[in-house]
Amino acid sequence: MSKFNEVPVEADTRVLFQELTTLGTYDVLHQKWIWDGITAESIIFANEDITDVTDHDLEMQVKAFRNLAADTSMTLKRSESGFTFVNFNFEAD
């Protein structure tokens, strides 16, 4: 799963935890991070794996993820860096 070696992290973001795992049939990177007093989690997909998958379908798969809070908001960003970030479980300090 070395395809996740180049996942970008913004300079002011601190990754608290990360693990390589699978979500459905996809290899993903699960991260928990903190930025500007906000803690959240991300499921990161390699864009090459999800070329035919809609944003809605990705969100539905992440909603079924074991750590997803029932009332969480989600954001999704398909990055030019080769990765798609689905962010959730936002908590402000």
pLDDT of residue 68: 79
Tokens 């002011």 label which residue? 12
Task: Walk me through the domains of the chain, giving residue ranges and CATH numbers.
Answer: 2-92 (3.30.200)
| Full-model pTM | 0.92
Please give the helix or strand (H or E) that residue 66 lies within, else none.
none
Per-residue pLDDT at 70:
74
Report DSSP letters for 11-61, one per residue: TTEEEEEEEEEEETTEEEEEEEEEETTEEEEEEEEEGGG-TT--HHHHHHH
Give how far Cα 47 sits from Cα of 36, 39, 72, 90, 93, Å.
27, 24, 24, 23, 32
- pLDDT at residue 40, as a whole number: 95
pLDDT value at residue 26: 95
Residues with pLDDT less than 50, the chain: none
